[in-house]
Homo-oligomer: A and B are copies of this chain.
Amino acid sequence: MASRREVAELAGVSEATVSRVLNGVGPIREETRRRVLEASERLGYVPSALARSFARSKSGNLGVVLPYVPKAHLFSAYFFSEMLSGIGSKARDNGLDLLVMFRTPGEVMNYTDLFRRQKIDACIILGARHDHDELAAIQQLDREGHPFCVMNQHFAGESFSEVDADHIEGSRLAVRHLTDQGYRSIAFLNGPDSYSNSQERMEGVRLGLQQAGMELDPSLLLEGNYSRRSGIEAAAIIAERLHEIDAVFAANDRMAIGVMHGLRERGVRVEDFPAFVGYDDSDAAEMAVPALSSVRVPFFEMGEIAVSKLMHPAGALQSPRTLLPTELIVRASSSRNVM
């Protein structure tokens, strides 16, 4: 492997000049530039990103923290891979590499150390939840002034840089869609409260019902953990009250599909299914039978935006929290005519 020194020799210039040419900095005589490029080309010289990083004290890496998911399929891989793709796409545009890390079950992630160790220059946090340790870790990040961005989770009372989707509106849309069609008894299967997402969905449901002149019936409120299994479990309760429950809104597609399965297992026929609306509009939604109406969340774009925010250091005017719009996708599961 050719070294920079050899290139310098072959081109008859100093190493510094080689650097300048290759980095495109400083004024260079065209003739010199050509010679260096040629020598570099001929020798197949490739500068070490490592040495460069070291000299600049910049790793060139964007850290991405993912939840611990191996085998435990709580969430669909769908939305993390979407976000990751969005992040990756934008990161590449900015010449950053992606350093991905999985959270470990027990231990708390020490985000600041990643910066201190200079493994990463910035960080995007996915799948965070509101617990004490997580919050403390992120607060420290903030305090030390490291550039970071939290995705799909809001920490109330903090002013972290966040990218999220409008889950209140998404849920409101879902509920209004149901009430508009005359459904009156809507079961809401939410996720754990430790995700701001869940709280926002709750809020949206409340709002939607209120607008429809209805009230939230606490007995129709169910809590799962976003897994399909928890949907199946919820089906037990729903099945028993099927004479009154005429619609189900679930906080994600997996749970919605879980409920469908649970009902089926209990012998409920599709014709007797309540209306269903899920959330995320993951690929599972269109694979479901009946095809599942769902609230679409622009995960890919959220990923892109997170990187953008990191790159363009928040103008003072820019809100630390960016909210992207959600959209209701209606499919057979919730449309009386289509079914």
Residues of chain A having any CB pair with chain B under 8 Å:
1, 46-51, 53-54, 57, 59, 61, 69-71, 73, 76-78, 80-82, 84-86, 88-89, 92, 97-102, 104, 113, 116-119, 228, 257, 261, 264, 283-284, 286-289, 300
Q: A102 → chain B, closest Cβ, in Å?
A: 5
Q: Using CB atoms, name the residue of chain B closest to A47.
A: B117
Give 7 new A-B contacts, CB below 8 A, not counting A97-B101, A100-B100. Answer: A47-B117, A50-B54, A50-B57, A53-B54, A70-B89, A228-B283, A264-B289
Q: Contact at A49–B118, with CB atoms within 8 Å?
A: yes
Cα distance, A295 to B155, chains bound together (Å): 42
Q: A119 with B57: in contact, given A76-B283, A283-B76, A287-B287 (CB under 8 Å)?
A: no
Which listed residue (B82, B98, B119, B264) contacts A49, Cβ 8 A? B119
Q: Using CB atoms, name the residue of chain B closest to A63.
A: B97
Cα distance, A117 to B45, chains bound together (Å): 10
Cα distance, A116 to B54, chains bound together (Å): 16
Q: A299 → chain B, closest Cβ, in Å?
A: 10
**Which of A57, A113, A119 lies at the interface centre, i.e. has the most chain B CB atoms within 10 A of its CB?**
A119
Q: A40 → chain B, closest Cβ, in Å?
A: 13
A/B interface sample: 22 pairs, CB < 8 A: A1-B116, A46-B116, A48-B116, A48-B117, A50-B50, A51-B118, A70-B85, A70-B88, A70-B89, A76-B283, A77-B77, A77-B82, A85-B102, A97-B99, A98-B100, A228-B283, A228-B286, A257-B287, A264-B289, A287-B288, A288-B289, A289-B289
Contacts of A86 in B (CB 8 A): 70
Q: Contact at B80–A300, with CB atoms within 8 Å?
A: no
Cα distance, A85 to B77, chains bound together (Å): 11
Cα distance, A264 to B270, chains bound together (Å): 14
Contacts of A88 in B (CB 8 A): 70, 100-102
Cα distance, A50 to B118, chains bound together (Å): 6
Contacts of A228 in B (CB 8 A): 283, 286-287
Q: Contact at B46–A113, with CB atoms within 8 Å?
A: yes
Which listed residue (B53, B81, B113) contacts A69, Cβ 8 A? B81
Contacts of A73 in B (CB 8 A): 283
Contacts of A289 in B (CB 8 A): 264, 288-289
Contacts of A92 in B (CB 8 A): 102, 104
Q: A14 → chain B, closest Cβ, in Å?
A: 22
Q: A131 → chain B, closest Cβ, in Å?
A: 22
Q: Contact at B50–A119, with CB atoms within 8 Å?
A: yes
Contacts of A47 in B (CB 8 A): 117
